[in-house]
Amino acid sequence: MSHNRSYPWNPGWGEPTDPGRPGPDPRAGVPLDMVEMTSVEKAVSVLDSFRGELASLGVTEVAEANGLPKSTTYRLLSHLVASGMLERDGLKYRPSWQIFELAQSSILGRMDGPPALALPLMTELYVETRGVIHFGVRRGNEVMIAQKIYGLDSVAIPTRIGARLPITTTALGKALLAEQIRKEGRRAVPATPFPRLTRNSKVAPQLLVDQLARTSAMGYTVDLEETILGVSCVGAPVMRGQRPVGALSVSVRSHSFDEAKLSKRVVRYARLLSDMLVSAEEEEDDDAPPNP
């Protein structure tokens, strides 16, 4: 029920939709204090208010976002501060370092998981391209940024770890979608309206399918100023066996975009990461105790 925007650099895009998230709540629009909710549910909803581009919020902002009285909101915020989940910032509240630690544990997970293994390869890819390097995982009809590497000479892209972007406009998302289409056919194309983030965004399903068919057979996908004007991107899927577990991408200024050169590098590093995941899985199997 909080007002989180997953596409943080332009609030004018409005609220994203994600059929992969829980469906419509029959209680939607009803103030939380008017429905039967546990204190834990209310606290989680209050905590969820801090997602998005507004990191610090006041009591009134949180109360309005959740349909709660200020007194109830203040009590819940106080409990979250006492538990270490939030901290005071003058008259406002913000997520604590404890939240950051939990997020890092969730994103990185095991040290042999995709985001952790991707980091050194992303560094190598940055050194070769000087672009913005992302590793993302699919969440419904969006892709979530799990790792990001960039430098002072990279194009400015206001993404952040944890942000969600449309699967139909980004090279990361299209790399994952192309794998699903390859296995399931046209029915894998999202049925919901495609977001138009720029004038180049593919909002017609057939245009997107045609674009994916052109490049995905060579192991990569492109974002040609479909998410941010002036920025173009190449992405490739990261596989664990036959299953896509994420995608790797490099974004550069459109005037210096060399699809042939960048695609070779992204595909190479995505395949290296895929091989590393298989090796890590095999090592884990070797270390497992024998069945009695």
φ, ψ at 2 (rounded to 5°): -80, 165
Q: Where are the beta strands (DSSP E) in the chain?
A: 86-89, 92-95, 132-139, 142-149, 164-166, 221-224, 231-240, 243-253
> Which of 162-171, 226-235, 277-286 bottoms out in mean pLDDT, i.e. has the lowest?
277-286
**Percent of the chain surpassing pLDDT 90:** 47
Collapsed DSSP state (helix, strand, coil) of residue 101: helix
Q: Name the average pLDDT for the chain.
A: 82
CA-based torsion, 110, 112, 118, 119: positive or negative:
positive
Domain with CATH 1.10.10.10 in the chain: 11-100
pLDDT grade for 26, boundaries at 50, 70 and 90: very low
Nearest to residue 137, comparing CAs of 239, 245, 60, 15?
Answer: 245
HSE, CB side, 13 Å, CA atoms: give it for residue 168: 26
Mean of the pLDDT values across residues 236-247?
A: 92
The distance from CA 195 to its chain's CA centroid, rounded to whole angstroms, is: 16
Half-sphere exposure of 88 (CA within 13 A, CB side): 6
From the candidate CATH numbers 1.10.10.10, 1.10.1200.10, 3.40.50.1000, 3.40.50.1110, the one assigned to the domain spanning 11-100: 1.10.10.10
Left (φ > 0), alpha (ψ -120 to 50) or beta: where does 282 sit?
alpha
CATH architecture of 109-286: 2-Layer Sandwich (3.30)
Residue limits of CATH 3.30.450.40 in the chain: 109-286
pLDDT value, residue 278: 86
DSSP characters over 120-151: HHHHHHHHHH-SEEEEEEEETTEEEEEEEE--
Q: How much is the pTM?
A: 0.70
Backbone angles phi, psi at 147, to 5 degrees: -145, 150
pLDDT tens column, 81-125: 999 889 998 899 988 888 777 766 665 555 557 888 899 999 999
